[in-house]
A = this chain, B = another copy of it.
């Protein structure tokens, strides 16, 4: 062959077989991250989602049924009846619990079998069976569940930013995946979204030069950012000079394992963070976001959602999505689960490096039989105070 032409370098032919860091992304029971995530409480619905109609919820790859018995107790049980396996979605909610449609076994919110109407004498051995269930707690408009080992169940944390109200403020909850930039159920791995929380550099690119200034002009310039680990997770502190010579100082936090503590990107006011988002891994390849925040009017949280030319995301055409991408497009565009072997981190990715390092640290702790960061077993633990907020400095 002719040797005159230079050999092409860096072509796709030389790529190695791609690989995923399974430890960091998979969420099923028995996987490293699945076990780590199971050491914390996760939101599984709005308080009103638990009612007299059994509701399918999918959490960390588990299919569950949420309901509220006639005594007002919320229950979260394995979807398949422990008798013959049909789904309790077709069950009937009664005063004392949830009754399976097939043979009428009645379970309370702790999975106790109270009745077996097809059995002699109503089931003399019904104490021998138990419908798998999970403990729940209701707070901040949300229902939280604990899917982990019973002897490691921590307290459900209290957050200062949702406890100390300003004038006329109250806490509202939202289940529409605010912050996800797309539909309620987002079809990619949760970590792709969560890493975005410690990535303030993408804002002026994706959310300004690409989408048009999606947020406020104050966010459109490239910030100076420092990243640091905290006792809760990763803190990113950004500074930008303002036109009047002051400093716009913005702090965002990723609080392990899944909390987005991100001040309003529209910077309506300079103040401490007003909401928390919980990224809920539905399974390995989809997630959703629950948010609770201080508001002054019902619906304030929903009004934080971005619009494009007055359109919701679902109203945009494919062409508009291509020309004006947002977080959804950037993160789902990484694939169902991104190929970590193909990544090339730079200095601006330092937040991700710290975040992954902290996750690896927690995986090691759990593997060693220790408790991961941020869990407490002491009911008198003080409310958690975040550093996050938008601030102005002279």
**A interface, CB within 8 angstroms of B:** 1-2, 5, 7-15, 17, 29-30, 38, 53-54, 62, 64, 77-78, 80, 82-87, 89-90, 92, 101-104, 110-111, 116-120, 123, 125, 128-135, 147-154, 201-202, 205-206, 209-210, 222, 321-322, 325, 329-331, 333-335, 338-339, 342-344, 346-349, 371, 377-379
Residues A346 and B132 in contact in the complex (CB < 8 Å), given A87-B333, A205-B104, A325-B90 = no
Other CB < 8 Å A-B pairs besides A12-B147, A116-B346, A117-B222, 18 of them?
A1-B151, A1-B371, A2-B377, A10-B131, A11-B133, A11-B150, A12-B64, A13-B134, A14-B150, A85-B343, A86-B329, A87-B334, A90-B322, A90-B330, A102-B333, A103-B205, A117-B205, A118-B202
A134 touches B344 (CB 8 A): no
- Check A344–B378 contact: CB distance below 8 A: no
Give the CA-CA distance A281 to B32 in the complex, in Å. Answer: 39
In the bound complex, CA of A110 to CA of B6 (Å)? 13
Docked Cα-Cα span, A135 to B322, in Å, equals 25
Q: A1-B377, A201-B103 are in contact. Are A344 and B129 (CB under 8 A)?
A: yes
Chain A binding site: helix, strand, loop or mixed by DSSP?
A: loop
What are 22 A-to-B residue pairs whose CB atoms are below 8 Å? A1-B151, A2-B377, A2-B379, A7-B150, A11-B133, A11-B134, A11-B147, A13-B147, A15-B132, A17-B30, A85-B339, A87-B333, A89-B333, A90-B330, A90-B333, A92-B210, A102-B202, A102-B206, A118-B222, A118-B348, A119-B346, A123-B346
Number of copies: 3
Quote the shortest CB–CB distance from A345 to chain B (angstroms).
8
Q: How far is the CB of A17 from chain B (nearest CB, A)?
A: 8
B130 and A85 contacting across the interface, CB-CB below 8 Å: no
Q: Judging by beta carbons under 8 Å apart, are B12 and A134 in contact?
A: yes
Chain B residues with CB below 8 A from A202, complex form:
102-103, 118
Q: Do residues B135 and A103 form an inter-chain contact, with CB atoms below 8 A?
A: no
Q: In the complex, what distance in Å separates the CA atom of A86 from the CA atom of B344?
A: 12
Q: Are B347 and A119 in contact (CB under 8 A)?
A: yes
Of A9, A101, A133, A321, the most chain B CB neighbours within 10 A belong to: A101
Residues of B within 8 A of A87 (CB): 333-334
Residues from chain B with a CB closer than 8 A to the CB of A123 are: 346
Known interface pairs A118-B202, A201-B103, A342-B85; A150-B13 also in contact (CB < 8 Å): yes
